[in-house]
């Protein structure tokens, strides 16, 4: 299996807001939805997918295991709880949401539990999120090349995250970019606006196309149907080498997802 290039993120969306976002997205042609245990919206996601009329096998569902559930005795039970909320007997991808702070739960223990969840058919693929080069190397040394489906990390024109993306590329690990629009901060950037005007596109489409051209998957979120539709236009936008070079100059290591006590020591 592979990771869909374009999906819908649901971070910070709950209740009717996330239900409407998913309904609109599925109606527009989205077929991948990303959620997580800590988002507290898995039940809403499950309801929206179940009521959409779209076959479960046609929707790629990702959830992420929270740090409280990374131990051997908690991971699979917590995933089963997630499946109940999502109204499905399996998800397509399960990620370690954040590495265990200070290594409280050994990474090998969590990876073994994930592998067991996969063996039981609870998830089709397994992967990681917010992993540094060192942590990703540990995961690959433990599971072997090909076992880690993706590393979901923050990547935007303001945070290229080159050390991690470069290491992932060298070792055959797919990258999923989240916060590609930097909470909308990049949408007013003069360089992105100029590139967008030249292509007859939007700054959001340019940022998403920039990530897609690097081979990353993207999972932007929106509560507005028109923005959900517009974002899909990134799939048809072809940036040239000059565009990519100009965007590369915007990197300022501006990280937004950096929760104290949870985030690892970044590269």
Instruction: Report helix, strand or coil for 126.
Output: strand
CB 164 within 8 A of CB 136: yes
Bridge partners (DSSP) listed for residue 60: 32
Q: Which two tokens stand for residue 69?
A: 């559930």
CB 39 within 8 A of CB 14: yes
Task: Tell me the C-alpha distance between 45 and 48, whole Å.
Answer: 5
Alpha-carbon distances, residue 230 vs 22, 227, 247 (angstroms): 15, 5, 20
Name 106's Cβ contacts closer than 8 Å, sequence gap at least 6. Answer: 100
Question: Would you tell me how many other CB atoms lie within 10 Å of the CB of residue 211?
Answer: 26
Q: Give me the phi and psi of 84, to 5 degrees please.
A: -60, -45
Bridge partners (DSSP) listed for residue 95: 64, 127
Active site (annotated) includes residue 158: no
Annotated catalytic residue, options 30, 39, 158, 178:
39
- Active site members: 39
């Amino acid at each position: 299996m592979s990771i869909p290039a374009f999906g819908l993120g649901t971070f910070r969306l709950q209740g009717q807001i996330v239900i409407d976002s998913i309904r609109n997205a599925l109606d527009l042609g989205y077929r991948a939805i990303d959620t997580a245990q800590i988002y507290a919206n898995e039940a809403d996601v499950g309801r929206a997918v179940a009521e959409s009329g779209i076959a479960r096998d046609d929707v790629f569902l990702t959830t992420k295991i929270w740090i409280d559930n990374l131990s051997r005795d908690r991971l699979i039970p917590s995933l089963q709880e997630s499946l109940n909320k999502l109204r499905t007997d399996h998800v397509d991808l399960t990620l370690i949401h954040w590495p265990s702070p200070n290594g409280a739960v050994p990474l090998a223990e969590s990876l073994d539990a994930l592998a067991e969840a996969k063996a039981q058919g609870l998830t089709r693929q397994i992967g990681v999120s917010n992993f540094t080069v060192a942590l990703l190397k540990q995961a690959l040394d433990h599971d072997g090349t090909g076992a880690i489906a993706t590393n979901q990390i923050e990547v935007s024109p303001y945070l290229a995250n080159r050390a991690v993306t470069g290491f992932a590329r060298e070792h055959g690990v797919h990258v999923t970019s989240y916060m590609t629009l930097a909470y909308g901060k990049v949408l007013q950037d003069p360089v992105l606006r100029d590139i967008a005007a030249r292509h007859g596109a939007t700054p959001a489409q340019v940022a998403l196309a920039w990530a897609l051209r690097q081979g990353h998957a993207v999972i932007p979120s929106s509560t507005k149907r028109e923005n959900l539709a517009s974002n899909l236009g990134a799939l048809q936008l072809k940036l040239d080498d000059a565009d990519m070079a100009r965007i590369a100059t915007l990197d300022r290591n501006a990280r937004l997802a950096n929760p104290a006590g949870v985030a690892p020591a970044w590269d």
